Amino acid sequence: MQDPEMFAKRAASFGSNAVAYARHRPRYPDAAVEWVVGDHTRVLDLAAGTGKLTETLLEFALEVTAVEPDDLMRAELTRLLPDVPALKGTAEAIPFPDASFDVVITGQAFHWFNTPEALTEITRVLRPGGVFGALWNHDDLSVPWLAEVNELTRSSVGDLQGLDDRTPRHELLGAAEEQTWNHAQRRTVESMLASLGTQSHLLVIDAAERASIFDKIRTYLWSRPETSQGEFDRPMITTAVRATKR
Ligand SMILES: C[S@@+](CC[C@H](N)C(=O)[O-])C[C@H]1O[C@@H](n2cnc3c(N)ncnc32)[C@H](O)[C@@H]1O
C-alpha cells in the first residue's frame, strides 16, 4: 500500500513544474476524446492541470469548463486558454450544482482521486444520461528501448498502487467500457527527459537522485540507434474508460 503522506505529496507535486508540464506532456488522441464526449455539449474537464486535455476538448464540445486544485497548474491553463472558465476545486468537492454537465472527463488523474467520494461528486454534477470518462497516456512498453527507459526512470519512490483497475464503479453509473488507441509523441533526447521530469515521483525526490536518473537515461538514449539521430517517435497508448449515468 502506498504511504498516504507520499501519495498526497505526489498528487500535489505537479504545479512545481507546471510550465514544463504544459510543454512536454503528450496530448490525447482526438479519437479518444471524441469517443468519450460524443455529441454532448457541456463538458467538465476535472483535474484539468495545465489544459492538455482541455485544448482537445475545445475541438469537440461547445462549452468546456475546467476544475483544478493546484494554483500553479490552473494559472498555466488560464495563460494558455484564457477563454476557458477554470475554477479551483477537487474531484471530491466539485464547485457546481447538481446536473450541471453532460460529460465529466479527466485526463491522467482518476488515480489521484479518493474514488468513492469522487464518483459520488461526479455523478451528482452529471445529468441523467451524461457520461463520465477517464483517459490515461502511457508508454508502449512492447517497444524495447522505451521499456528500458521506463526501467531506468524508476526512483526510490515506489510505483503507485491500484493503477491496473481503472474501472469506475458507482451505483449511479452503468457498466464501464474501455478502449485503447496508439499514438506517438515526437521527442529528442532532451525533450524526452523534460517529459519524464514531469512525473510526480521524479518531482518529489531530491535533486541529486533526479540528476543521477537523468544521466543514466541520457547516456542510454544517446547509445540507441532509435533515439540518437535527432527527433524520434515515443510510441504511446491511450486508454479510455467511459460509463453513463443512469
Ligand atoms: C497528471 S496531472 C493531469 C493534468 C491534466 N488533466 C492532463 O491531462 O495533463 C494530475 C492533476 O490532478 C490534479 N489533482 C490531484 N489530486 C486531485 C483531486 N483530488 N481532485 C482534483 N484534481 C486533483 C493535480 O493537481 C494535477 O493537475
Residue 206 lies in a domain: no
What is the Å distance from ligand 1's center to 49 Cα?
5
H/E stretch holding 66: strand 63-67
> Closest Cα to atom 22, ligand 1: which residue?
47
The model's pLDDT over 97-107, given as tens digits with 9 standing for 90+, comes to 999 999 999 99
Which residue has the CA at smallest separation from atom 8 of ligand 1? 107
In a domain, 240, yes or no: yes
Residue 197 belongs to some domain of the structure = no
Q: Which residue among 21, 56, 108 has the greatest number of ligand 1 atoms within 8 angstroms of its CB, and so is best to mutate?
A: 108
CA dihedral 116, 117, 122, 127 (to 10 degrees): 90
Report the C-alpha gap between 180 and 171 in whole angstroms.
25
The pLDDT > 70 percentage for the chain reads 98
Q: Is residue 221 part of a domain?
A: no
Distance 235 CA to ligand 1 centre (A): 23
Question: Domain limits at 16?
Answer: 4-140+158-185+235-244
User: Is residue 70, in this structure, part of any structural domain at all?
Assistant: yes
Is residue 117 included in any domain, yes or no?
yes
- The atom number, within ligand 1, closest to the CA of 114 reads 19
Residue 166's pLDDT band (cuts 50, 70, 90): confident
Q: Considering its fold, how many domains does the chain have in total? A: 1
Ligand 1 lined by 201 (C-beta under 6 Å): no
Average pLDDT score, the chain: 96
| Grid cell locating 75 | 494559472
pLDDT at position 134 over 70:
yes
pLDDT at 61: 78
CA atoms in the 13 A half-sphere facing the CB of 228: 10
**CATH number of the domain that 59 lies in?**
3.40.50.150
Give domain status of residue 210, yes or no: no
| Domain annotation covers residue 204 | no
